[in-house]
Structure 1
């Protein structure tokens, strides 16, 4: 018996709208809506942009406290699955310090060459004291919490990291007895990361609100007053991200810098928009693993870096800001002060806590140098625009160090590294449009 074939309708072609294109679209729309709100004085549009941006950032922050705790706890205990765990941890910390020193050196060099505080028209009277300040006493005494609840309610990431580290080390000491707790922690971490992926899907919409609010609130005139300083931060960050990191990858890790950026780009672009290293952490970890870094090591290095490795916020920016503020307040800086800036950048970077903004780190730097804290007020208005590039640099550094360490220790999967691309991650959205 013959069966006649039924003609099949041709499948509809689909066009996938890549995530990076969604982000770019959000940037363009944000600039457009922000310009309209500013130039036409459309108050409802400005309010809407603020609400959209604030909601997106708040959703990211909502997951920060438990995400940091369980990520650090699990990452420390995962080290038991890695050979030479102590060596890997020490090498990671060493390269964090090396790259931070290079970044702060670039920041100081650019600041001394360009004199960002000269000719701005700003005066000490334009500054104001920040709401939050940082000092070495606050930094050292603030590491240990007074109770286990307050760090979560007040989002004190440094104290959360401390408690998670203590819990992780204790779990390692207990061995098999701690396994039920570790299994629960791993399940909770996966749950949190899954929920955060849903928030990340909203990044293009959040971009419209965040960029639009920045343009609508500050406008181009204010940016003009800080033109040199803004350019310095972006140029310094670009030199580190696209100069120093590729050079280290090519000479130290002996891998292709182009392949690194192909693989790491989803995390870098999300960091630029969200302005949160911790909020970007799940994406950073995924791209790091996709670049061939062993999962057990990546699950330690990336969360550790997301809370302590800040080449943009804690190295380049404080160096430039210190020079900028010193020039505004007519304070002379010498070799001793520049050495102190480098010291603060390397040791105190955990004060930035992986959240939006770098106010605490900046006040820590200024108080160490004896510069007026009112200088922070001079930079608050322009901070959101600067923070985008700073955070992108932070996250690039948080991915590049595990690659370098893995390559030097002979545990990097070169085949996976060579196959890495900027294609969407498994759980990252790609909008399909029927053709």
Structure 2
């Protein structure tokens, strides 16, 4: 078997393998002999068909099978002998010339890069330090009240925070345009969900009033045919509603899962969830800094095949998050994130290898129990993970990442950074900021 390996662009390699004709024919003859002992062909007694006839009938099929098997075995052997680390499956191009008794193939593939780890000495990571205050708790409970607010009709002009029911018609250069009209729609003043000036232009308007708004679509508006263009809206106010926030009472506490409605227990639960979120955010901030630092200090070539696989994974994840919707998304939308993930994965793998970092059973168990603690039946979750070894794979990866973070923090200078709960969290952006 003759093997040659050439370097292509970047991490690409081309391997040419010539297979001995005698080896292929020898295996073909061996299999024909096996078939001959039991073959049943018209005009011949069982097991008495001549080899020439068998070769005419089965030779080509067997030759293809033998060639395919030798491609796999010879490629694996060549990869091992040349100490190549493949990044993905090869592309195989057969090269067969039976007249010249030549059997071979070319395998094109990418290899994993050599990662040279840089020292993290002298680098700085900021450790957030924050205290959970009574004021933070009060603000959180106000946000929870906002989540449960109701609307009542107001017999007065609209103001910031009110919800208006409106009908409107938009025109460009005096002509209506597609999507520019609606009736019976609601607008909450002060949320900024409409184009600039629309909500502000309705402050002080009462039910039954009509206002003319001369505005301009933003330059970066999602519809290119409207971006940057002047528009006029004729808006009629159908109704004005003001928000009604619930009292923090037993009914309110029960709505968040406090069975007996005890308000103090509700406050304690909210504080406990805020404390847990604060801890997670501090840890997340530290981990993010470490990962950024590792990527900044270490350069690595990323195999195209791994980036492509990561892009496909990110696409599937987005579709799943959107309820399984099927639509095509451009690769460019995920390119940067995929490059980062693949690069970090390669660097972290080298850190793990060079420092002998392992995901020990005790750490894995602790991680599983920590995740299970947030469920109603923690033991059921623990049993799920340990029912099948494959279920623990993602947990092991997470534990390894945490250990890499700890290793990195031992190499750098850690400085404390005083922050508030609000600076570390953005609960207003979450559907349930208190975790209840």
Q: TM-score, normalised by structure 1?
A: 0.22
Higher share in strand: 2
Higher relative contact order (CA 8 A, sep 6+): 1
Higher share in helix: 1
In terms of Rg, which structure is larger? 2
